[in-house]
Chains A and B, each alone.
Chain A
Amino acid sequence: MSGSTIVTGVLAAAIVTWLLRVALITLLPADRLPDGIRRSLPLVGPAAMAALVVTTFTAQAAAGTPAPRQVVALVAAALAARLGANLGVVVLVALTVGGLASLLGG
């Protein structure tokens, strides 16, 4: 790889990601979108987070993290979040429960 190739590739990627980000904020503001699409926007959060949970879960399982340990840790995290815990506490609960499950051979 030459230096210029790397720089060109990185700059192209930077421009593409920036265009994706400003697309519905600055270029075509979402309030000008059709009503049906605007109604769906509040659902972006739950949909995206659920998809990311599954994606990161399966990626970790593929990388060798035992699935049962992940499930136990994530259920504990969900319970903590349901009880209104701070996001940092939620992560700490998951790490603690995951660690305990690992010690117990999960």
Chain B
Amino acid sequence: MSVAVADRRPSIARPAIREALRDLWPIAVAVAPFGLFVGVTLDELGIPRTTGYLSSLLIFSGSAQLAVLTLLDTGAGLATIVAIVAVVGARLVVYGGALAPHFRAQPTWFRWVGPHLLVDQTFGIATARSDLEDPGRFRTYWLTAGAGLGTVWLTVIVIGSFVGPVLDRFGMLELTAPALYVGMLVPRLTDRAAVCAALVAAAFAFGLQGLPGGAGLPVAIVVALALGTLTDRRRPEVDR
């Protein structure tokens, strides 16, 4: 990666496709258990498989997809589904804001289509790299990582929907998601503002986890941004 990539100097010779695929594999391992779980849920809720698979690619967000499927199962109305999905996916707005500079000089089609591939994992690996300033290079990297992740995501969901009834436990794979996020977090703790933002976000995410629809997550991020920026402003100029 990825993680070490943050300090790596730009390299024109190294193809963006190869680097995206290299960054992708640990993510693929990490999303596999969640994808299997989504596949198992599709099977348990009796969602037609083709519709379930298409929903995976159209929504491209495991948490939002699970929310929609379970809401549909409980007979929720369209307004409820839209509201809950907006809350569950609210962090995508903030991710988009952080990635916007990479999309500024892109072709129009990419500015409309490319963001569809924005999820926690693609945001994590793309923002960990410091060598994606070139628009073409970023586009190639982003499309490769996103399409690769989508392929893995759909594959494990298909597997989960078929082997769901016999799946009992996922063994140690349950540690992959938090470990992945730890691996993405640590290299970002480069200054006081970042550490402050991370601590505040962690504290609020813990304190607000009881909020319905996973609303605590975006709230925690927004509060952390506010306090982290405040810390940054109070820092003496000489310290910067």
List residues of A whose CB falls within 8 A of some B CB: 1, 3, 5-14, 16-18, 20-26, 29-31, 33, 36-37, 39-58, 60, 63, 65, 69-70, 73-74, 77-78, 80-82, 84-88, 90-91, 93-95, 98-99, 102
Contacts and interface: CB of A to CB of B under 8 A. Distances in A.
Please classify how large the interface on chain B is, using the bins under 10, 10 to 19, 20 to 34, 35 or more. Answer: 35 or more
Interface string B51-90: 1001100111100110110011101001001100110011
B60 to A, nearest CB: 7
A9 B26 contact: no
B92 A20 contact: yes
Contacts of A33: 97
Given A26-B111, A56-B177, A63-B174, A90 B224 contact: no
Interface of B: 1-4, 7, 23, 25-27, 29-30, 46-48, 51, 54-55, 58-61, 64-65, 67-68, 71-73, 75, 78, 81-82, 85-86, 89-101, 103-104, 111-112, 114-116, 118, 120, 123-125, 127-128, 172-189, 193-195, 197-202, 204-206, 209, 214, 216-217, 220-221, 224-226, 228-229, 232
B93 A23 contact: yes
Contacts of B89: 16-17, 20
Most A Cβ at <10 Å: residue of B3, B58, B82, B183: B183
Closest 9 CB pairs of A and B: A94-B179, A90-B183, A88-B26, A30-B100, A81-B186, A50-B198, A24-B97, A47-B224, A49-B185
